[in-house]
Structure 1
């Protein structure tokens, strides 16, 4: 995708097709509710509320890890803070390098960055995704699955809201999903789980008092 954006390749026809279909759908449906929903979803990719959610998720995961006796209980808080600093480092240089105009086709002004990749989508993918991964590693079962689902659905909603509202090309959004997905995949592989007490100690606590 990045290569195609750089050389104005034929894959960009997908962007034009997606924009045409979206504009036709908006015109045919003429739904104020959908327009407001698209705007609200787009706003979820702003630094506020995404970054506070990221930092709160890191703090919560650190607190739960400390309660569980993890030796590096502070690691989730550090990861969330580093992620908050990583987001602009991943997005801003690429925007400046490619300088891609937005869907409206207006030329960039000297103080503007390009539209590729989508900063709101990257912020949402990394903020909500990392927060979900960090907290999910301190819980189990259905709660973990719900957190993973939320970490995937929120960035998906942000990206779709941006395309629906004509703020971004489709490939701008997909590129940020891919970028954020790579970071989340690496984090999920490297981050240790919260410490759990040894099995025999857990079993002893769960045994009826009369059998101890």
Structure 2
């Protein structure tokens, strides 16, 4: 029995071929730097430490940090399970600037960022009217930057990133809404 989505679409191939033909040194350097930052154990450790210290010091941010962390973990675990179920191969080596192992759909990085940002935006209790829009715009920009870099580098097909966003967004929305519902609103 064939698993749906096991093969990349014609649009996936066309997009990656177009990107491969139009890559520039500046964009390549930026995309590789973003990928290296996301894979850096030191950076991830410092980010985790900063989140934990912030949660200790700023009590009202604890639900946001807990929601974002929980959604990130669930998104990664779910995306890894789906990757093995779907077993879609990564883009052809001739089209890729960076070679990654394993399967490609859904993108774990896209799911992680989408889950983390969706949960954080929903769990946040803003006092300023512009705050929710600002958080949502920042989350959207971070997701677009991450997904674009993954496809640009040839690590993922476009539909891998879209599937990662859908998965992470669903997880993040669920976790963020649950945390928000259980968190009492602050008194003025």
Q: Same fold (TM over 0.5)?
A: yes
Structure 1 stretch 96-105 or stretch 169-178: which is displaced more? 96-105
Structure with more contact order per residue of length (Cα contacts < 8 Å, sep ≥ 6): 2
What does 1:87-126 align with in structure 2 at a 5 Å threshold?
87-104=75-92, 112-126=101-115
Secondary structure in 2 matching 1:5? coil
Rounded Cα–Cα distance in structure 2 between residues aligned with 1:60 and 1:126: 20
Q: Distance in 2 between matches of 1:21 and 1:187?
A: 37
Q: Compute the displacement of 1:144 (Å).
A: 3.0
What is the CA–CA distance in structure 2 between the aligned matches of 1:44 and 1:160, rounded to whole Å? Answer: 15
In angstroms, what is the RMSD of aligned CA positions?
3.2
1:158 and 2:140 matched:
no
Match of 2:98 in 1: none
CA contact (8 A) 1:91 1:122 kept: yes
Q: Secondary structure at the match of 1:89?
A: helix
Aligned to 1:175: 163
Q: Distance in 1 between the 2:107 and 2:45 partners?
A: 16
CA distance in 1, matches of 2:49, 2:119: 10
* 5+ long unaligned stretches in structure 2: 95-100
In 2: Cα distance, 1:18 partner to 1:57 partner: 37
Return the offset for 1:96.
1.5
CA deviations over 1:78-116 (Å, ceiling 9, x no partner):
43442343133211111112222111259xxxxx53111
TM-score by length of 1: 0.67
Name the CA distance, whole Å, in 2 between partners of 1:180 and 1:95.
Answer: 14
Query: Which structure 1 residue ranges, 4+ long, deviate > 6 Å from structure 2?
Result: none
1:5 aligns with 2:2: no
Give the 3 Å change call, closer, same or farther, for CA 52–143 of structure 1 in structure 2: farther
Query: 1:195 maps to what in 2?
Result: 185
| Change in 2 beyond 3 A, CA 1:137/1:51 | farther
Larger radius of gyration: 1
Give the total of aligned pairs. 177
